[in-house]
Amino acid sequence: MADRYQQFVDSPPGRFMTRRLGLPQPAPLRRGPDLFDGPVLVGGGSVVREVLARIGAHVLDNADEYDALIFDATRIAATRDLRDVYTFFQPAIRSLAPSGRAIVVGSGEGVAQRALEGFVRSLGKEVRAGATAQLVYAAPEADLESTLRFLLSGRSAYVSGQVIRVRAAVKNAPRDWDRPLAGQTAAVTGASRGIGAAIAEVLAREGAHVVCVDVPAQGEDLAAIANQIGGSALQLDITSDRAPAVLAERGADIVIHNAGITRDKTLGRMSEDQWDSVLAVNLESIERINTALLEAGDVTRIVCVSSVSGIAGNRGQTNYGTSKAGVIGIVDALADDLAKRQGTINAVAPGFIETQMTAAMPLATREAGRRMNSLAQGGLPIDVAETVAWFASPGSAGVNGNVVRVCGQSLIGA
């Protein structure tokens, strides 16, 4: 559904009026898989410089405008050292280009490192014109290339104010960064439309053969998506007793748990069926399927779709919020086990995404969802899909146990 307010802001009269009235100013976001090719300013230690050289980033010390400002804060160990972050960003922040990136790389150890989270989240609420801010905690010997490629491109357009942790892991850089999933099979549940269809399309673009999974009632739409991307369709109710075995037999390298339902009611009005059905689809099915996948031993990447509702809660969604918080619990519970198998499990937590579901919301609720984030607009299904693809990449072997919000830095939740 078109965002008419954003279209109005993009017009000269709309821009003039909304600025005079102090209304939100959503800027067009720079989307797409290509790496930014503008100047990058780097400060602090030397951890990121080698990675940026491999990426081919144009690191410059003097430019009128920068696509990215990156500060290596891994050497910060005491509170007084935090002045270095201020000294780097304060004179440069006004030179950040529209849809630019402010990135801090830290070690994550100690009081001063924890303080960086408050700095980055606050900075994300100050930058304008579609710019974002992120914090990456890197373990010693962690491979940051996949993560910096994601953050320094339009793929991370709707991700801001996030803390990403990269562990040390066996380096497994893709042979081709344009098609890092070539030769792999990815299964995507709930793939017939919306976010699931976008995930299937992006994973296919990245080179994977995609098995599109959805219930038989969505068979026609499912087949259309599978045919469009050169994948295959699997009509399957993931809550059925046979679903775990069927998916395990497919031998997928990558599994994306995207399928989900809502049955919204306040708790006092919620029926047992409304509670049970949401928990069965959104949480229990994932647990059962993961057990079968890990027993089969083929899967190397598991990505779950959670929600901001699972982090911050939402009125009328005690069932949905419970299930999506449980999804985060699955990530926490299995991350170490997957690491031992040289695999990963992560989750995306979408905020307000422009889908058929959000298009059906009442106008006031829909507008509040769009504006109540640092980017003052709704995200698109491809924003979630691009984040999923980053998690799924062979180069993301150290990106494990993360929950990354794709919400434009929503003003609710952490």
Q: Do 210 and 129 belong to one domain? A: no
My answer on whether 269 and 158 are in the same domain is no
- CATH number of the domain encompassing residue 99: 3.40.50.720
Q: Are residues 228 and 141 in the same domain?
A: no
Q: Are strands 32-35 and 153-154 parallel, antiparallel or unpaired?
A: antiparallel
Number of domains in the chain: 2
Note whether 116 and 209 are same-domain residues: no
Residue 332 and residue 242 share a domain: yes
Does 397 map to a domain? yes
Active site residues: 320
CA pair distance 386, 377, nearest whole angstrom = 18
Please name the amino acid found at residue 197.
A
The rounded distance, in Å, linking the Cα atoms of 144 and 122 is: 24
In a domain, 213, yes or no: yes
Structure token pair of residue 328: 């985060």
Instruction: Tell me: do 130 and 246 sit in the same domain.
Output: no
Q: Are residues 281 and 343 in the same domain?
A: yes
Q: Is the same domain home to 353 and 227?
A: yes
Pair 209, 337 in one domain:
yes
Identify whether 13 is part of a domain: no
Burial class (CB in 10 A: 0-12, 13-18, 19+), 364: exposed
The residue out of 166, 201, 223 marking a domain boundary is 166
Residue ending a domain, choose from 138, 166, 194: 166
Distances (CA, A) of 393 to 207, 227, 230, 303, 343: 10, 23, 20, 11, 11
CA dihedral angle for residue 316, residue 161, residue 208, residue 237, rounded to 10 degrees: -10
Residues 76, 85 contacting (CB under 8 angstroms): yes
Range of the domain at 94: 31-166
The answer on 109 and 253 residing in a single domain is: no
Q: Is residue 22 part of a domain?
A: no
pTM confidence score: 0.95
Same domain, 213 and 317: yes
Residue 175 lies in a domain: no
Question: 201 with 338, same domain?
Answer: yes
Kindly give the confidence (pLDDT) of every residue in the chain, 414 residues in length, as a single tens digit, with 9 standing for 90 and above.
677 777 777 788 877 777 877 777 788 999 999 999 999 999 998 889 999 999 999 999 999 999 999 999 999 999 999 999 999 999 999 999 999 999 999 999 999 999 999 999 999 999 999 999 999 999 999 999 999 999 999 999 999 999 999 999 888 778 899 999 999 999 999 999 999 999 999 999 999 999 999 999 999 999 999 999 999 999 999 999 999 999 999 999 999 999 999 999 999 999 999 999 999 999 999 999 999 999 998 899 999 999 999 999 999 999 999 999 999 999 999 999 999 999 999 999 999 999 877 777 677 778 778 888 999 999 999 999 999 999 999 999 999 999 999 999 998 876
**Domain boundary, last residue among 100, 135, 166:** 166
Asked, for residue 287, whether it belongs to a domain, the answer is: yes
Q: Radius of gyration over alpha carbons of the chain, in Å?
A: 21
